[in-house]
Amino acid sequence: MALSEPPRLAWPGRYSDGRTAAFYQVEARIGEDGLTITGEDGAPYEMWPCDTVRLVDGPDAGGAIRLGRKGGDVRLSVEDRDALRALELHCDALHKGMAEESSWRVIAIWSGAAIAAIAFLIFAVIPFFADHASAWVSPRLEAQLGDQIADFLTSFTVASKDKDHAECTNPQGRAALDKLVAPLASQLSLRNKLRLRVINSDLLNAIALPGDEILVFKGLINFAQGPNEVAGVLGHEMGHLQLDHPMRLVIRESGTAFLIGLVMGDIFGGSAISIAGTGLLVTAFSRDAESAADAEAVTLMSRAGLDVAPFGGLFERLQAKGDADIPIPFLRTHPPSDQRAKLIEAAPPGGAQALTPAEWQNLKAICNPD
Amino acid sequence: MAELGGMAGATAPERVTYEDRPGLVRLLSTNFFLTLITIGIYRFWAATRLRRYLWSNIRIGGDGLEYTGTGRELFLGFLIGLAVLAPLSIIYVVAERLSLGDQVLVGTLQGLYFLALFVFLQVALFRSRRYRLSRTTWRGIYAGQTGSTWEYLKLFIGYGLLTVVTLGLALPWMHVALARYKLNNTTFGNRTMHIEAKGSALFWRWLVVMVLLVAPLALAVLPNFSALVHPVYLPQPKGLPTLELPHPATLAPGFLSAFSLGFLALVWYRIEAFRYLASRVRLGTMQLDSAAKGMTGIGRVLLFSVGMVAMMIGLGLVFWVLSAVAIPILRGAIAGKSLSITTLGIIGIGIMVPVYIVLLWAMQLAAYCWLWIPIIRHLATTLDIENFPAVNEITQSSQKRPKLGIADSFELGAF
C-alpha cells in the first residue's frame, strides 16, 4: 500500500464501557466531530469528541492501540494499523495525558517549601549547630573524633610500603619538633592538649583536625627551606584550632552531605554519612577562616620572638609549584599572598630562628627509623 | 450488543501472557542518562515510564494492564516528604556527628535511627503499593488497596519481634501474615481478593535458606568467635591472651559463600512463596493458580552472574591491553617533561568518569534484561485464572480513588 493513500477511517475494535470488566465487539469510525463507536448491530453507541480522544497504550508489535476518553474509564482497543495514522490526522490532543494532574502551581509551591526547608537547614540550622558545637561536645569526644579522622587520613595517604612506619617518631627529630612547637603552643588556650603527628607521606600538606590535633606530612617538612617556614605552617594550623575551625567544618560538611544525599534519593543517608567523616579531605576552610588563621600564625610567631619573614616564602613557593599539584585542596584556597605579605610587613621585623641548624637537620630526618 | 466474554459453563483456565515490546533498551537508557544529568530528579518520571512499559506487557484475556500514574504525582509526593523529613533527619545527623567517638552513644543513636527508618520504610512500602494499585487498570476497571497502614504496621512489628526472638525461624509466618493482610485488602473493581494461607506451608523452604545462609557463616566465624564478639574498643580482660581480630582473608570464603548461596536460596524461596500465595488467591468466583518455579529463578540469577563475570573479564582485558600500550608511552612523556603529573591526572579522570558511567549503565541494562524482566515474565506466564469468564461480572468500584499522600509516593526505587 502506498503511503500517500489516505488511511481507512473505520476499524473493528473492542470496547469496554468503564462500568464492567466485560468487552464488546464494535466498529469505530473517525470523523470531523470525533470518534463514533457503533455496536455490531449498527446502533450508534457512543461519540467521543476529538479533543477528548487519548492514546493510552501502544502501538504494540502488532500495531494494536488502546484509546481512552479523557475524564472517563472507557477503553477502545483497535488492531488496525491505519487507525493511529488516521487519528493523528484528526485529533491534536491524541498524545496528551489522560490523568487530571495536580497543577504546576502546586508543584511550585511544594518545590518552594522543600527548597526553603533545605536552605533554612543549610544557612541557619547547620551553622548554628556548628558554631555551638563546643558547648555540647566534650573535649574527650572531640579528641576521639579527631583521632578517627587522623587514623583514616593516615591509612589513606601513606604508601603501602611504609604502612608499618606510618608515623614518624625518630627521637631526635621529635625533640626538635617539640622545641619548635613549644613557644607557639604555650600561647594557645585549647580545650585539649595539643597533639601533633608527623605522617610518613610525600604529601605537601598539613591539616588541623577536631580535638586539637595537627597532622604534618613529611613532604611538607622536606619542602621547607628552614625551621621558621615549618613554624609558620604549624602556627597557621594552630590558628585554625584556636578558632575551632575543624569541628565547625566537620559538622557543616556532614549535614550538607546528608541533605544532598536526601535530595538525590538516598533516604538512609548512608553514603553521605560515610563520606562526611572524611569531609576534611575534600573540602577546604573558607577564605575568611584562612585569613584569620594567617593572622593568628603571625601573632603567635612574633610573640614567640621568631622571624616571621619566611612564613610567606613557603606559601609562595607552593603556589609557584602550581596549585593543581596539591592533591588535597586544603592549601589551595589560601588567601592571596599579597594579603599575607601585608600581615608579615606589619609584624615587627627581625627575630630569631626557631631551631639551630643541627636541630633543623634532625627535624628533617624525623621520618628516619628510630 | 453482543457480549463475547460472558460465555457460561466451565472453560479452560485463562493463562496470563507477557509481551516483550520493543524499545526496552532505549527506555532504560534514556531513563538512566536523564536521571544522571538531572542529578536524580528525573527518577520519578523514569519509574513512571518503566512501569507503564512493564504493566502494558502483562496481558490478561488479550488486554494489557495499564499504569495511569504520572511522574508529576511521584515528584509532588517526594517534595512533600522532603519538606517534612529533611528537618527530622538532619537533627539525627548532627546528633550522631556530635557524639562521634563515643562508640556506645553512636551505636545507640544509629540503632534507634535505623530502626525508625526501617519502620518508616514498611509504612512507605505499604502506602506505595496502595498508590501503584490505585493507578493500575485493566479494561478500564481500577485496582486498589484498602486496609489501614496502622494495622499493617502493628502486624509488622508484632511478627517482626517474633521473628527476632526465634532467630529468624518465624519469618514465613510473618511473610504470610503480611501478604495475607495486603492481599485480603486488594481490590479489583467492586471485588476484594481473598486468600487463605498458612506460614507453616513455607517453613521448610525457609529452613533451606537459613541453613545455606548460616552454615558457611558459622564455619567462618566459630573458630574466631571470641575475638569477633569481644568489642575491640573495650579493655582486654587481664590474664587472658590478647584477642586479635582474624585476618579478613580467613573470613572471606565463608562470607562469600553465605552471600552467594544465601542469595540464590532467597530468590528461590521468594518465587516458591509467590507460587504458594498466588495459588490461594480468589477474586469472586475466580481462582488464581501459579506454576512458577523457584529453580527457574536460580537459573536466571546464574545466567545473569555469568553474563556479569564475562562483562568484567572482557572489560579487564581491554584495560590490561590499553595499559600495556599506554603506560610506557606516558612514562616516557613524563620523563621527557612533555606531560605533567597534573595533566595526566586530569586525563585519567576524564577517562575514568565516562568509563564508570558506561559500566553503571551496562550493569543496569543487564540487570533488567537478563534478570528482573525474565523473572517477571516467568511469574506472569505461569499464572492461570480459573473461571475467567466471571470477570465480566466485575463492575467499577464506587469508592474514591486515593489522592496521593505523603508516603504514597515517597518512592523507594522499587517498581
Backbone angles phi, psi at A3, to 5 degrees: -65, -30
CB-CB under 8 Å, A20 with B395: yes
CB-CB under 8 Å, B79 with A107: yes
- Summarize pLDDT for B367-395 with one digit per residue, the tens: 999 999 999 999 999 999 999 999 999 99
ipTM of the complex: 0.74
What's the pLDDT score for residue B233? 45
- Closest by CA to B198, choosing from B179, B211, B214, is B179
- pLDDT(A360) > 80: yes
Which chain B residues have a beta carbon less than 8 Å from that of A28? Answer: none
C-alpha distances in angstroms, A67 versus A53, A266, B57, B407?
A: 7, 38, 16, 31
Question: For the residues of B46-78, what is the DSSP string, one character each?
Answer: HHHHHHHHHHHHEEETTEE-EE---HHHHHHHH
Bridge partners for A13 per DSSP? A26, A78
- Summarize pLDDT for B254-273 with one digit per residue, the tens: 778 778 888 899 999 999 99
- Which residue from B minimizes the CA distance to A110? B79
- Of all residues in chain B, what percent carry a pLDDT higher than 70? 80
- Summarize pLDDT for A229-282 with one digit per residue, the tens: 899 889 989 999 998 888 888 777 777 777 777 776 654 444 444 444 444 444
CB-CB under 8 Å, B21 with A60: yes
What's the pLDDT score for residue A37? 92
What's the pLDDT score for residue A255? 73
The mean pLDDT of A22-40, rounded to a whole number, is: 89
d(CA A174, CA A179) in angstroms, rounded, equals 9
Question: Within an 8 Å CB–CB cutoff, is residue A1 touching chain B?
Answer: no
C-alpha distances in angstroms, A167 versus A153, A200, A272, A281, A331?
A: 12, 6, 29, 19, 22
- pLDDT(B209) > 60: yes
Higher pLDDT, A63 or B211: B211
Which chain A residues have a beta carbon less than 8 Å from that of B396? Answer: 18-20, 73
d(CA A353, CA A337) in angstroms, rounded, equals 22
What's the pLDDT score for residue B415? 38
B230 pLDDT band (50/70/90 cuts)? low
Return residues 299-328 of A near B (CB < 8 Å): 322, 324-325
What's the pLDDT score for residue A214? 92
In a 3-state reduction of DSSP, which class is residue A199? strand
B124 pLDDT band (50/70/90 cuts)? confident
Higher pLDDT, A247 or B291: B291
- Closest by CA to A341, choosing from A326, A319, A323, A325, is A319
Contact A220, A207 (CB under 8 A): no
Return residues 20-49 of B near A (CB < 8 Å): 21-22, 39-40, 43
The mean pLDDT of A27-40, rounded to a whole number, is: 88
What's the pLDDT score for residue B223? 67
- How many Cβ atoms sit within 10 Å of the Cβ of residue B188? 22
- pLDDT(B288) > 50: yes
CA distance A275 to chain B (A): 12
- pLDDT(B188) > 90: yes
**Angle value at C-alpha B299, between B295 and B304, nearest 5 degrees:** 145
Higher pLDDT, B64 or B225: B64
Which among A121, A136, A143 has the least Cβ separation from residue B90? A121
Domains and their CATH numbers in chain A: 10-95 (2.30.29.30), 132-364 (no CATH)
- pLDDT(B200) > 70: yes
B193 pLDDT band (50/70/90 cuts)? very high
Higher pLDDT, B314 or A44: B314
**C-alpha cell, A101:** 494532574
Return residues 182-201 of A near B (CB < 8 Å): none
A326 pLDDT band (50/70/90 cuts)? very low
Least confident interval from B79-93, B219-233, B283-297: B219-233
Q: Which residues contact A277 (CB under 8 A, 6 or more apart)?
A: A148, A149, A152, A254, B100
* Average pLDDT of chain A, as a whole number: 80
What's the pLDDT score for residue B94? 66
A288 pLDDT band (50/70/90 cuts)? confident
Return residues 221-260 of A near B (CB < 8 Å): 250-251, 254-255, 258-259
- pLDDT(A283) > 60: no
In a 3-state reduction of DSSP, which class is residue B99? coil
- pLDDT(B24) > 90: yes
Question: Within an 8 Å CB–CB cutoff, is residue A39 touching chain B?
Answer: yes
What's the pLDDT score for residue B143? 94
Question: For the residues of B360-415, what is the DSSP string, one character each?
Answer: HHHHHHHIIIIIIHHHHHHHHHTEEEETGGGGGG-B---SPPPPP-TGGG---S--
Question: For the residues of A332-361, what is the DSSP string, one character each?
Answer: TTPPPHHHHHHHHHHSPS--B-SS-HHHHH
B175-182: long-range contacts, CB 8 A cutoff, minimum separation 24: B175/B199, B175/B202, B175/B206, B175/B273, B176/B201, B176/B202, B176/B277, B178/B152, B179/B273, B179/B277, B181/B147, B181/B151, B181/B152, B181/B155, B182/B126, B182/B129, B182/B145, B182/B147, B182/B152
What's the pLDDT score for residue A329? 42
What's the pLDDT score for residue B279? 96
**C-alpha cell, B96:** 550522631
- Summarize pLDDT for B345-369 with one digit per residue, the tens: 777 778 888 888 888 899 899 999 9
- pLDDT(B44) > 90: no
CB-CB under 8 Å, A21 with B21: no
What's the pLDDT score for residue B247? 65
- Closest by CA to A16, choosing from B38, B319, B361, B189, is B189
- How many Cβ atoms sit within 10 Å of the Cβ of residue A321? 12
In a 3-state reduction of DSSP, which class is residue B324? helix
CB-CB under 8 Å, A18 with B140: yes
Question: Within an 8 Å CB–CB cutoff, is residue B398 touching chain A?
Answer: no
Residue tagged 492461570 (cell numbers): B384
Contact A270, A300 (CB under 8 A): no
User: Best of A20, A38, A73, A128 to disrupt the B interface by mutation (most B CBs within 10 Å)?
Assistant: A20
C-alpha distances in angstroms, A193 versus A183, A196, B49?
A: 14, 10, 59
In a 3-state reduction of DSSP, which class is residue A174? helix
Higher pLDDT, B133 or B401: B133
CA distance A9 to chain B (A): 22
Instruction: Quote the crossing angle between the two packed helices B71-98 and A104-120, to the nearest 10°.
Output: 10
Question: Within an 8 Å CB–CB cutoff, is residue B6 touching chain A?
Answer: yes
What's the pLDDT score for residue A62? 79
Contact B406, B84 (CB under 8 A): yes
- Summarize pLDDT for A165-189 with one digit per residue, the tens: 888 889 999 999 999 999 999 998 8
d(CA A101, CA A83) in angstroms, rounded, equals 27
Inter-chain contacts counted by CB atoms under 8 A, chains A and B: 191
CA distance B79 to chain A (A): 6
Which among B63, B79, B98 has the least Cβ separation from residue A133? B98
What's the pLDDT score for residue B9? 52
